[in-house]
Amino acid sequence: MRCGPPRCLRERVTSWVCPPQSCPAVKAERLGVAAVSIDGFECAGHPGEDDIPGLVLIPAADALTVPVIASGGFCDGRGLAAALMLGADGVNMGTRFLCSAEAPVAEAVKRRIVEATELDTDLIFRELRNTARVARNSVSETVVRILADGGTFPDIQQLVSGARGRRVFEDGDLEAGIWSVGLSQGLVRDIAPAGDLVERIVNEAYDVITRVTGLFADSTRV
């Protein structure tokens, strides 16, 4: 199973977590990137240091002419419809498809995502200006506490190692290390085949956009 875009496209896609008109996204477009991913504060992993949500970041991407992919907080057709209305050309749904039947991670991880709410994440590395959103567990809470008490990266290095994080995904030991998940886990209700998810998401987006468009069917511009 191939995860992510093909290499020829992957090498020409860039991702930013700051307003496009005030960061290197515009320069990246001039250098020839094929698309830009706009990562809102809701995303898993590194959301940047300015805590700006996608609702603000995505419309700001009108400074770009290459396709814009909205990332962070999207997991269903309502989110897809909202992203399109905000000006995006598509969406990333990492957390949603991490919880698909085909995702090559332990079933325990998928079940935890279904059970969790949008409140069950931690922001770690804040003091290091390298913020990351991860699933809340005993390890993430320990990292937050050590850094809040004045600790430095060497004090937490072993806790946040990639080797420990891989054990979560491979073995299903949810307390083995830190692992990334977005706020959208609060909207994930099931583990389903990826194809079914795509069909469901597209159909829901179509229904939402049709309903909203209908609200203006008999109206004229003011």
42 CB neighbour count, 10 Å cutoff? 21
> Phi and psi dihedrals of 9, rounded to 5?
-90, -40
Q: What confidence score (pLDDT) does residue 5 get?
A: 42
- Within 8 A by CB and 6+ apart from 170, the residues are 105, 106
Question: Do the Cβ atoms of 52 and 40 come closer than 8 Å?
Answer: yes
pLDDT in tens, the chain (222 residues): 223 344 444 445 555 555 544 466 788 888 888 898 889 999 999 998 999 999 999 998 888 899 999 999 999 999 999 999 999 999 999 999 999 999 999 999 999 999 999 999 999 999 999 999 999 999 999 999 999 999 999 999 999 999 999 999 999 999 999 999 999 999 999 999 999 999 999 999 999 999 999 988 877 777
Q: What confidence score (pLDDT) does residue 15 get?
A: 56
Question: Do the Cβ atoms of 72 and 41 come closer than 8 Å?
Answer: yes
CA atoms within 13 A on the CB side of 117: 1
Q: What confidence score (pLDDT) does residue 221 get?
A: 76
Report d(CA 57, CA 81) in Å as an integer.
Answer: 16
Q: What confidence score (pLDDT) does residue 25 get?
A: 75
Closest to 79 measured CA to CA, from 186, 194, 221: 186
- What global pTM score does this model have? 0.86
Closest to 53 measured CA to CA, from 82, 67, 73, 77: 73
Q: What confidence score (pLDDT) does residue 24 get?
A: 67
Q: What confidence score (pLDDT) does residue 218 get?
A: 76
For 41, 46, 125, 215, the CA distances from 129, given in Å and listed in that order, are 14, 10, 6, 44
